[in-house]
């Protein structure tokens, strides 16, 4: 046999990541920082094991069996190994529960775990994000009965009592504009609400609960007339017969994640709050899942970059390792710079979220969080696709070959920009934030703080110029809604 190329090796995502460690060292009090170490170490070990395991096996997809041999409707979904391990890993290392501790640092500690777990989880993090969002929306609703019923499960540290929760918003009529939702909520003679309709994308279909938008029968049209309901999907260990799985979607990526089309045929449901303004009630969930999206997008970038950097030390071209080729080294350095920006933005949002939730934020920081959340989601979503594509090219032809495990990074990254609000929808959401709060002033204050230690005059100048341009753009279009919307993406990218 002739020459054989060494495959890339995955560095330990925690031990060998000085960026993550130093960010946590700076942000956390030393006792909390020390207490976090064991979980991060273990999640890093798990990530490395999962990468090696995925390199050895052919990738699998979940399989839906709708009928058993005797004609019973069963809608059983067989999951991949990482998904079967999901509840245990999640609860043992408090991936989700950590975020709901009574501390301003809780969210940062949660998202450090998410960052390490995400790729190994094979997008089990998608329903986890929705579970976190459901817990957050339930708390925001103040509905004590539902909180007492659901939170002990959603935030459980015990795999046996842990429940996943979905987010049933998107219908055939539209996912960005949910105002045409066709699902109806009808009361039976006992007063119990029952849901009837079709949800077009359900990524937590193996979960035990969900928050669903539905139109109470007789309510008017439009989004304002929608209500937000809590549902449970299981009767013991059998799925409720009023929840029918029509099919699993055949997707570009996120293959291990079972995303289903479902029918609701009288599924019992409980309103979180008033029987209207469901979008307003689901907003706390959206802002949490969008933060997960940003962190997970950055995790995909980190993985692609880590493998590309390692490969550059193993692969030779024109007589030396790629890393010694100035242009290849520059390509990696440019990718690293983009990654670091995305990392800083996503974790800034994670930390802010905890501070705002626990009343530890400065006066301008709630408005800052409201603006940075859509910006972080839309920016990292786009950057992940760009960086994963560039990383594949760093492997030459090998980057295009399925069983290297590399093409999956790019296919999976494409989803970050689509779900949880597309780039355009989030650009418009950032306008919503700019209109309702004094967010741009909050951003100015924050930037002054971040730049206080910077001696890089060019960077300061560029940032001030970008802020100036953003202000001008806002002012120029302020009275003309059409122009403002048309410019929203440019404005969002400038601000991000």
Residues that bind ligand FAD (CB under 6 A): 166-170, 174-177, 201-204, 251, 254, 259, 415, 418-419, 422, 424-425, 428
442: contact with ligand MFK by CB under 6 A: no
Q: Which of 175, 273, 405, 407 touches ligand MFK (CB under 6 A)?
A: 175
Where are the extended beta strands (E) located within 290-367? Answer: 316-317, 320-321
8 Å CB contact between 305 and 387? yes
Q: Which of 33, 42, 45, 179 touches ligand MFK (CB under 6 A)?
A: 179
> Among ligand FAD, ligand MFK, none, what binds residue 168 when CB lies within 5 to 8 Å by partner kind?
ligand FAD
Q: Which is nearer to ligand FAD, 134 or 169 (CB)?
A: 169
Instruction: Tell me which residue has its CB nearest to ligand FAD.
Output: 175
8 Å CB contact between 203 and 166? yes
Q: How far is the CB of 187 from ligand FAD (least distance, A)?
A: 24
286: contact with ligand MFK by CB under 6 A: yes
275: contact with ligand MFK by CB under 6 A: no
Q: How far is the CB of 350 from ligand MFK (least distance, A)?
A: 13
The interface with ligand MFK within residues 115-154 (CB under 6 A) comprises 123, 125-126, 129-130
CB-count exposure of residue 430 (10 Å: 0-12, 13-18, 19+): buried
Q: Which is nearer to ligand MFK, 169 or 484 (CB)?
A: 169
Q: Which is nearer to ligand MFK, 93 or 309 (CB)?
A: 93
> Among ligand MFK, ligand FAD, none, what binds residue 292 when CB lies within 5 to 8 Å by partner kind?
ligand MFK
178: contact with ligand MFK by CB under 6 A: yes
Give the C-alpha distances (Å, rounded to integers) separating 46 from 105, 416, 424.
24, 23, 36
Residue 296 has which token pair? 């997970």
Q: Which is nearer to ligand FAD, 135 or 332 (CB)?
A: 135
- Residue 70, H or E segment: none
Query: Taking Cα atoms as reference points, which of 425, 417, 416, 422 lies closest to residue 485?
Result: 425
Size of the site for ligand MFK (CB under 6 A): 30
Cα 47–Cα 52–Cα 55 angle in degrees, nearest 5: 125
- What radius of gyration do the chain's Cα atoms show? 23
> Among ligand FAD, ligand MFK, none, what binds residue 77 when CB lies within 5 to 8 Å by partner kind?
none
Q: Which is nearer to ligand MFK, 137 or 470 (CB)?
A: 137
Which residue bears the tokens 């009592």? 161
DSSP string for 214-234: EEETT--SSGGG-EEEEEE-E
Residue 417 has which token pair? 């920009």
> Among ligand MFK, ligand FAD, none, what binds residue 202 when CB lies within 5 to 8 Å by partner kind?
ligand FAD
Grouping H, G, I as helix, E, B as strand and the rest as coil, residue 175 is coil
Q: Which of 66, 176, 221, 454 touches ligand MFK (CB under 6 A)?
A: 176
296: contact with ligand MFK by CB under 6 A: yes
- Dihedral of CA atoms 144, 291, 406, 395 in degrees, nearest 10, equals -170
Which residue bears the tokens 């696709």? 385
71 vs 452: CA distance, rounded Å: 69
109: contact with ligand MFK by CB under 6 A: no
The interface with ligand MFK within residues 207-226 (CB under 6 A) comprises 223
Q: Which is nearer to ligand MFK, 156 or 203 (CB)?
A: 203
Q: Which of 60, 61, 280, 358 touches ligand MFK (CB under 6 A)?
A: 280
Q: Which is nearer to ligand FAD, 29 or 174 (CB)?
A: 174
Q: Which of 39, 122, 357, 420 touches ligand MFK (CB under 6 A)?
A: 420
Q: What is the DSSP letter of 11?
A: P
Q: How far is the CB of 276 from ligand MFK (least distance, A)?
A: 9
* Sign, Cα dihedral of 296, 314, 20, 456: negative
Q: Which is nearer to ligand FAD, 168 or 339 (CB)?
A: 168
Q: Which is nearer to ligand MFK, 198 or 328 (CB)?
A: 198
Give the C-alpha distances (Å, rounded to integers) separating 120 from 83, 258, 401.
10, 16, 20
Question: Which contacts (CB < 8 Å, 24+ apart) does range 46-52 have?
Answer: 46/89, 46/116, 46/117, 46/120, 47/10, 47/13, 47/14, 47/116, 47/117, 47/119, 47/120, 48/10, 48/12, 48/13, 49/120, 50/82, 50/119, 50/120, 50/122, 51/10, 51/119, 51/120, 51/405, 52/10
Q: How far is the CB of 278 from ligand FAD (least distance, A)?
A: 12
Q: What is the DSSP letter of 8?
A: P
What residue ranges bind ligand MFK (CB under 6 A)?
A: 123, 125-126, 129-130, 167, 169-170, 175-176, 178-179, 203, 223, 277, 279-280, 283, 286-287, 289, 292-293, 296, 419-421, 425, 429, 432
């Amino acid at each position: 046999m002739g020459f054989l190329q060494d495959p890339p090796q995955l560095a330990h995502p925690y031990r060998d990541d000085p960026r993550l460690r130093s960010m946590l060292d700076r942000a956390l009090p030393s006792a909390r920082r020390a207490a976090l170490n064991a979980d991060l170490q273990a999640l890093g070990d798990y990530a490395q094991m999962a990468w090696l395991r995925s390199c050895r096996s052919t990738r699998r997809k979940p399989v839906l069996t709708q009928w058993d041999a005797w004609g019973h409707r069963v809608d059983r979904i067989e999951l991949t190994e990482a998904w079967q391990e999901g509840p245990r890993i999640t609860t043992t290392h408090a991936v989700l529960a950590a975020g709901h501790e009574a501390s301003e640092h809780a969210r940062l500690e949660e998202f450090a775990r998410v960052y390490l777990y995400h790729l190994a989880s094979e997008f089990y993090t998608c329903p986890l994000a929705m579970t976190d969002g459901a817990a957050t929306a339930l708390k925001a609703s103040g509905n004590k009965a539902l909180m007492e019923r659901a939170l002990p499960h959603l935030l459980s540290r015990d795999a046996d009592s842990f429940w996943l929760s979905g987010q049933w918003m998107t219908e055939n009529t539209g996912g960005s504009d949910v105002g045409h939702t066709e699902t109806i909520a009808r009361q039976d003679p006992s007063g119990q609400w029952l849901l009837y309709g079709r949800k077009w994308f359900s990524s937590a279909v193996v979960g035990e609960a969900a928050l669903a938008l539905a139109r109470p029968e007789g309510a008017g049209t439009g989004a304002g007339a929608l209500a937000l309901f809590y549902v449970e999907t299981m009767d013991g260990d059998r799925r409720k017969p009023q929840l029918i799985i029509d099919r699993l979607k055949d997707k570009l990526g996120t293959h291990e994640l079972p995303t289903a089309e479902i029918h609701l045929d009288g599924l019992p449901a409980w309103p979180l709050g008033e029987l209207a303004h469901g979008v307003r009630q689901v907003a706390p969930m959206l802002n949490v899942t969008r933060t997960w999206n940003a962190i997970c997008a950055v995790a995909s970038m980190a993985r692609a970059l880590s493998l590309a950097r390692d490969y550059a030390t193993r692969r030779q071209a024109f007589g030396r390792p790629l890393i010694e080729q100035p242009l290849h080294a520059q390509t990696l350095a440019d990718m690293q710079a983009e990654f670091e920006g995305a990392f800083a933005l996503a974790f800034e949002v994670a930390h802010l979220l905890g501070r705002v939730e626990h009343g530890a934020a400065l006066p301008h920081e709630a408005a800052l969080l409201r603006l940075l959340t859509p910006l972080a989601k839309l920016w990292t979503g786009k950057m992940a696709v760009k960086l994963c594509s560039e990383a594949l090219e760093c492997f030459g032809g090998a980057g295009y070959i399925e069983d290297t495990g590399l093409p999956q990074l790019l296919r999976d990254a494409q989803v970050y920009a689509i779900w949880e609000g597309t780039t355009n929808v989030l650009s418009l959401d950032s306008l919503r934030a700019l209109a309702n709060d004094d967010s741009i002033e909050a951003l100015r204050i924050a930037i002054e703080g971040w730049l206080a230690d910077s001696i890089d005059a060019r960077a300061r100048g560029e940032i001030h110029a970008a802020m100036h341009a953003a202000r001008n753009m806002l002012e120029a279009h302020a009275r003309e809604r059409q122009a403002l919307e048309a410019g929203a993406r440019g404005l969002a990218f400038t601000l991000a």
